[in-house]
Amino acid sequence: MTITDAAAQSRTFARAWGDLVDGFGKRELWLHLGWQDIKQRYRRS
């Protein structure tokens, strides 16, 4: 592995990790959307 390959892989990992952290930071939003989906799906059943 060359230095440029290692640097590119490190940047890719950092971007992926940042994406996961951002997604976890929005957990209230996706929990709300998931709960709304469950309520809609099982309404009147």
CA angle 31, 34, 45 (to 5 degrees): 140
pLDDT digits (tens, 9 = 90+) for 26-42: 999 999 999 999 999 99
For residue 24, pLDDT beyond 70 = yes
- The reported pLDDT for the residue numbered 44 is 82
In the chain, domain spans: 3-41
Output DSSP code: residue 24: H
Q: What's the whole-model pTM score?
A: 0.57
Provide the mean pLDDT of the chain.
89
User: Cα 2 to chain center, whole Å?
Assistant: 30
Q: Among the residues of 1-45, which ranges form H helices?
A: 3-25, 27-41
